[in-house]
């Protein structure tokens, strides 16, 4: 049997009523998109206030929402964007772009390293050794060897080996 491709089934404008802060009933126009996911064999409905993007783009954004959230979580956890070094728009954009480039490079290094080390641990190790003249590959290889050696040795003997 041929698989049915993912597709937008329905796109419509809806009106939603709500009470504002003063108790007055307001109305807002929203967009409802019904999207068929062939892999999951089910229909999803998305509601948005964006009327400019195509329906398929909106469906893709919602589908990849979890990946996007994990991406921003990784960015916020590993790169300090809590404060900015400059106060104009250009300085802030440069700092964000630098963090994004660093995330991309370190994600590639983490993928190439093929160790089971957590990404945040790798970033912490590299952050500590930024001033040193050791290669990143060598530093991570050294850290992986130490982890293997530590796993093989026991901190203390077993209590119940003779039982």
Each residue's pLDDT tens digit, 16-65: 999 999 999 999 999 999 988 888 888 999 999 999 999 989 988 888 88
- Is 33 in contact with 46 (CB distance < 8 Å)? yes
The residue ranges of every structural domain in the chain are 1-63, 85-154
- Residue recorded with tokens 């772009």: 97
Q: What is the pLDDT of residues 83-133, one digit of tens each?
A: 778 888 998 899 899 999 999 999 998 888 877 788 888 888 888 888 888
Q: Identify the burial level of 35 via C-beta atoms within 10 angstroms of its C-beta, where 0-12 means exposed, 13-18 middle and 19 or more buried.
A: buried
Distance CA 73, CA 103 (A): 12
Residue 127 φ then ψ, to 5°: -65, -40
């Amino acid at each position: 049997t041929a698989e049915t491709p993912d597709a937008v089934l329905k796109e419509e404008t809806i009106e939603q009523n709500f009470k504002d802060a003063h108790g007055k009933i307001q109305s807002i126009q929203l967009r409802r998109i019904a999207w068929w996911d062939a892999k999951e064999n089910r229909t999803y409905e998305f509601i948005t206030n964006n009327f400019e993007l195509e329906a398929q783009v909106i469906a893709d954004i919602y589908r990849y929402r979890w990946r996007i959230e994990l991406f921003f979580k990784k960015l916020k956890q590993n790169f300090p964007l809590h404060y900015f070094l400059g106060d104009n728009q250009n300085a802030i954009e440069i700092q964000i772009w630098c963090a994004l480039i660093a995330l991309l490079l370190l994600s590639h290094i983490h993928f190439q390293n093929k160790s089971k080390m957590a990404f945040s641990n790798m970033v912490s190790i590299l952050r500590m050794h930024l001033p040193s003249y050791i290669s990143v590959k060598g530093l991570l290889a050294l850290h992986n060897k130490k982890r293997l050696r530590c796993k093989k040795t026991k901190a203390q003997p077993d209590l119940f080996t003779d039982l």
